[in-house]
Amino acid sequence: MTRSRLLPLLVALAALGACAQGPTLDQRLSTFVGRGEADLVAALGVPVRTYEAEGRRFLQFEQRRNLLVASPLAAPYGPWGPRYGYWAPPPSYVQASCDLTFALRDQRVESFSYRGEACG
């Protein structure tokens, strides 16, 4: 292949690679279905809560992340243009969480669920 034909092909492949995403949370968690409790704890750590009901055992794991939130860019502007002498407030941190719950029957993961703004 000539160099002039190879360059557009490489650019297209690079663009496709940039769009590629890793596995979703559902895909990552579904690998635990059918595995034992010890495998789950080895991978995710000790659960924060456990509960047993109707022959099932529920294990809940918590994940917390601190996210940096920048101040809005429009803040230094008023209705008549820029506000001179105004400094935008510094960025701040917020805590985002994701709670994972696994249901086990006969010591094997049967299903899972999750909730929170940091899941994904």
Q: What is the mean pLDDT of the chain?
A: 80
pLDDT for 117 equals 87
Spans of all domains in the chain: 23-70+91-120
Q: What fold is seen in the domain 23-70+91-120?
A: Beta-lactamase Inhibitory Protein; Chain:B, domain 1 (3.30.1450)
Residue 71 has pLDDT above 50, yes or no: yes
CA angle 40, 57, 38 (to 5 degrees): 25
Least confident of 31-45, 69-83, 99-113: 69-83
- The helix (run of H) or strand (run of E) holding residue 85 is none
